[in-house]
Amino acid sequence: MTAEKITYREALRQAHIDAMKKDDRVYLMGEDVSLYGGAYAVSKGLTEMFGSERIRDTPLSESAFTGTGIGSALGGMRPIVEIMTVNFSLLAMDQIVNTAATFCHMSGGQFSVPIVIRMATGAGRQLAAQHSHSLEGWYAHVPGLKVVAPATIEDARGMLWPALEDPNPVLMFEYAGLYNKKGELPDDTNLVSLEGAKIRREGTGITLIGWGGTLDKCLDAAEELAKQNISAEVVDLRCLRPLDTTTILESVKKTNRVVIVDEAWRTGSLAGEISALICENAFYDLDAPVQRVCSDEVPIPYAAHMEQAALPQIGDIVSAALACFGTEEVVA
């Protein structure tokens, strides 16, 4: 088996090319996706390959073009709607939550909305308070939506086609700090199931749960813990709705300790839901209280040092893990 080394961005681009070659109904629409090549260069060169009918620039109106995508999905197309950043999705909240998510139910199962909505999420790039949100947990709250967060090159490459085949709306959250990440993509890369977490590192002493932009921090924290003879298992949720409760609970029952890492704010976070899930189903398997590492309860600052201080960091994860063992030693 050989492997190609590519960026997360290029993996997404290849996924688009593959999908558009497979199915003429697939098209991409969003702000600056055509002539400019996309805000994150995911669609660079696709207009030359597929034409402006299938790579469509839109007005600056998220509600309008998301609604257009929903309408075309109902009409038999397979749209990919790119929303530049997650905060802009708030302008399309009614379309996503009140229309796309409910149409199958409201029609008694007669109609489905096979739309894929992609958006960049996360902080850490000095884009200040209005462009640094991690709101995937908001959408994971909504029945009728499937919510995924590819954190690896392979998942970025393999999730798009299954999302397009799904008869219901799929929201794909791409952590913006990953676009330049390089990794190996095996030649035999397979399509990725949109249901099911994945163990990224086996361990026996504690479980670290992350997704999207927090996965690599969990893996780095596991390396630091290994230096202190603590074996950390790292669970990549991958799919935030539906949650893979089986993998989560099996890991916690094996390690008896858990740290959940979520870049969203702690109050009302997805980390809180996962914590409740564990306490309801594995309380007597825990040897220490569930620990959560989340962003500080502030709008994300612009200044680099303040932004980093507000976000979960590797040292924070290590400290939370050590607290599960009754020690407060801090690892920088």
- 141 a catalytic residue: no
Give yes or no: 195 in active site: no
> Which one is catalytic: 31, 131, 133, 263?
131
For 279, the token pair is 């306490």
Q: Which of 198, 210, 136 is nearest to 172 (CA)?
A: 136
Q: Which residues of 42-58 are buried (b: 16+ CB within 10 A; e: fewer)?
A: bbeebbeebeeebbbeb
Amino acid code (one letter) for 190: N
| Catalytic, out of 10, 31, 62, 307 | 62
Calpha distance 191→189 (Å, rounded): 7
User: Which residue's entry shows tokens 């308070």?
Assistant: 129
Tokens 């949109």 belong to: 194
> At 201, which amino acid appears?
R
Q: Cα–Cα distance between 233 and 255 in angstroms, integer? A: 8
Asked if residue 226 lies in contact with residue 255, where contact means CB atoms within 8 angstroms, the answer is no
Give CA–CA dist 290/52, Å, rounded. 50
Q: Which residues are catalytic?
A: 62, 131
